[in-house]
Amino acid sequence: MAPDTPTPAPTRVFIAGGSYAGLSAALNLLDLASGVNPRMSGEAYPHVPNFEKMDVEITIADERDGFYHLIGSPLALADSNYTKKAWVKFRDIPSLQQPNIKVVIGSVTTVDCAAKTVTTLEAVTKVPTEHAYDFFVAASGLRRVWPVVPQSLSRKQYLVEAAEHIHAVSNAQHGVVVVGGGAVGIEMAAELKLVHPCVDVTLVHSRDKLLSSEALSDECKDTALDLLRESGVNVLMSHRLSKSDRVETMDGSTKYEIEFSNGHKMAASEVIMAVSQPASTATYMPATALDENNLVKINPNLTLVAGTPNAEYHFCAGDAARWSGIKRCGGAMHGGHYVAHNIHQTILRDRAPGGHEAKYSELTEFPAVIGLAVGKKAVASSPDSGTVSGEDVMQAYFRNDLGFDICWEYMQLGGQKYTVIDA
């Protein structure tokens, strides 16, 4: 009798980050390891005959206890009904309830690329735990400050945090001032005015054009301004905030005296700062993997550039990666899909009987494109299609929930819809 062929050990994949890029990488890889088409691909995947299925173990680590729809923040912090929808605990996401997917609620502290180990600090126990892996994916994104995104790490605390903010802005007797005319500020001001039309909302921006830090056309920037004013938001251009001081009131209401560098003064009950610079969370990576802004240096196939041990087994996708274009959830999900494809190709290269010539998916340079929700309408701009706007653009890009359902369905978080590949 011939001796039994030893069963190869499962391939261990560790993913730092459970948002758009991380979930995309995990679920597309799960599809590939099951011998089916990756859920985000419109083309048949060339599975290797007799090696269609493979044993993978995926660990996802995230500081939050659930998936938070980041681009829905402007609505989540304005509408209490939507607040509940925007954060779904990992344990309540059907597609993650698989025996070979484990979720760690905690932060990644260090990655040893040479030893292929990662250390996490679990949220509840605060105990450091070391995990061995075969592939590592940095998908933890950027750290953004309040009130751009909630700072809570649990859904329970997030609901409290959001409720307090919504109560404050919806009862803003002296109005609300949003400082910063980037995408976040525009959407926050517009959503607040849409949900609470009786509140006086003013957006102030230090430059003479909105979206001034983005390489977008003047037509796009001017259209955003037109839609913002059309939605009922007061807009003050070329107003740089100088100071904001809380003052006493006879009725006990919250009030700030605001002064700008041009001498203009006004009052508001709430001042929302939407001008902060997000910071990379990938400081757990070795210095050789990071640039001066702590973004992960990647090749077009999303592996680390040479100079870090085992670079070809380490990937980065999403906002933490150094790549061209405006940071967007669509780009993050796209990158996660490519990471899954390329990990699978590397596994085939290393393990398939008879060898396999890996064919990697590679990112191209991302142009400056944007989709921006402004009240009941949206504006979208790209080099190919130019600038378009209207209620139809809102439906196409965001529907009525700032894109939550679009992302949920695209990643098939509610359940898998496998496309079986014929042998």
pLDDT tens digits, 280-291: 999 999 999 999
Residue 3 has pLDDT above 60, yes or no: no
Q: Are 162 and 76 in contact (CB under 8 A)?
A: yes
Alpha-carbon distance of 88 to 70, in angstroms, equals 12
The answer to whether residues 40 and 16 belong to one domain is: yes
Q: Looking at the domain assignment, is residue 394 inside a domain?
A: no
Residue 323 has pLDDT above 50, yes or no: yes
Confidence of residue 357 (pLDDT cuts 50, 70, 90): very high
386-412 pLDDT per residue, tens: 999 999 999 999 999 999 999 999 999
- Overall average pLDDT of the 207-227 stretch: 96
93-124 pLDDT per residue, tens: 999 999 999 999 999 999 999 999 999 999 99
Least Cα distance to 66 among 23, 127, 130, 125 occurs for 23
The answer to whether residues 269 and 292 belong to one domain is: no
pLDDT at 150: 95
pLDDT at 423: 26
Q: Looking at the domain assignment, is residue 391 inside a domain?
A: no
pLDDT at 4: 52
Alpha-carbon distance of 169 to 177, in angstroms, equals 10
Q: Which of 258, 273, 288 is the last residue of a domain?
A: 273
Domain containing residue 195: CATH number: 3.50.50.60
The pair of three-digit structure tokens given for residue 121, joined into one six-digit string:
């600090």
Look over the chain and give the mean of its residue pLDDT values, rounded to a whole number. Answer: 94
Range of the domain at 217: 156-273
Q: Looking at the domain assignment, is residue 216 inside a domain?
A: yes
Confidence of residue 275 (pLDDT cuts 50, 70, 90): confident
The answer to whether residues 203 and 260 belong to one domain is: yes
Alpha-carbon distance of 222 to 26, in angstroms, equals 39
Q: Which of 343, 365, 387 is the last residue of a domain?
A: 365
The reply to whether the predicted model has a pTM over 0.85 is yes
The answer to whether residues 263 and 318 belong to one domain is: no
Residue 420 has pLDDT above 60, yes or no: no
Confidence of residue 131 (pLDDT cuts 50, 70, 90): very high
The answer to whether residues 29 and 126 belong to one domain is: yes
pLDDT at 417: 44
Q: Looking at the domain assignment, is residue 372 inside a domain?
A: no
Which segments within 78-233 are labelled E, that is strand? 87-89, 101-112, 117-122, 128-132, 135-138, 142-143, 176-179, 201-204
The answer to whether residues 38 and 116 belong to one domain is: yes
Which residues share a beta bridge with 298?
304
The answer to whether residues 56 and 133 belong to one domain is: yes
Confidence of residue 6 (pLDDT cuts 50, 70, 90): low
The pair of three-digit structure tokens given for residue 361, joined into one six-digit string:
């998916």
Which are the contacts of 141, defined by CB distance < 8 A and separation ≥ 6?
A: 17, 19, 21, 70, 281, 318, 319, 320, 332
Q: Are 125 and 49 in contact (CB under 8 A)?
A: no
Q: Looking at the domain assignment, is residue 402 inside a domain?
A: no
Q: Which of 247, 273, 299 is the last residue of a domain?
A: 273
User: How many structural domains does the chain have?
Assistant: 2
The answer to whether residues 137 and 283 belong to one domain is: yes
Q: Looking at the domain assignment, is residue 404 inside a domain?
A: no
Interaxial angle between packed helices 218-230 and 183-195, expressed in degrees from 0 to 180 and rounded to the nearest 10:
20
